[in-house]
Amino acid sequence: SDLAAVLAQAVIGFLAGPDRQRLRACHAPRCVRYFLKEHPRQEWCKPSCGNRARVARHQERHRPRA
């Protein structure tokens, strides 16, 4: 209906505009979100995803070798 039309128009406008280049997938394990990259080093959609990724990386590096 009207809401769907407005939403579709907004999505088309976004994908056709310059902000499209800032759209990124979150790098955190098991996260399926996308976000607009605000600064060059941003890799995660929210701080908790970044924390989860850092914890996973730490555990991988400090895992006992068999």
pLDDT in tens, 4-57: 999 999 999 999 999 999 999 999 888 999 999 999 999 999 999 999 889 988
Is the full-model pTM beyond 0.85? no
Alpha helices for 1-66 (secondary structure H): 2-16, 47-61
- Say what the pLDDT of residue 56 is: 87
- Say what the pLDDT of residue 35 is: 96
- What lies within 8 Å, CB to CB, of 24 at 6+ separation is 34, 35, 36, 37, 42, 43
Question: Rounded to an integer, what distance in angstroms lies between the CA atom of residue 53 and that of residue 51?
Answer: 5
